[in-house]
Structure 1
């Protein structure tokens, strides 16, 4: 897979993530994007979640998603992140991936 940089913040607080969690987040987000039409290889990915709204920026372009996809992504990411040490209530999340 090569070199990757993955960062996560919850409620504007950076969350320290180890190698396993970085790889897990990378693969989950990659799987989500592969399932969306019109997406390609991830070079840069920024996912922000504010409340119930998900915004995806892939390689500098906004990826449009419908309400159903928005809900699935939000719930998947929230479920994954809520299990991490130091995370309690989630109001906002940001995931950044650089490959």
Structure 2
């Protein structure tokens, strides 16, 4: 191959690389925009991690004193969760 052909090929490859880098940058920006609400929610949960752990530990301690109460609360939570999922499906979200 001649030097001119090699230079042309090299230029095409460099342009292709630049274009792919721009596409990757755009994809990363789109990804960050799409996951921003999740990141925001996670930061909020992380901010309240201490009180959440303290409250859940206190709740487990209180519920563990009466074994029958734990089963009842578990059943209720499963029913509420199932109803919420069905309602969400019916609404269409």
TM-score, normalised to structure 2, is 0.27
The structure showing larger relative contact order (alpha-carbon pairs under 8 Å, at least 6 residues apart) is 1
User: Which of the two has greater strand per residue?
Assistant: 1
User: Which of the two has greater helix per residue?
Assistant: 2
TM-score, normalised to structure 1, is 0.25
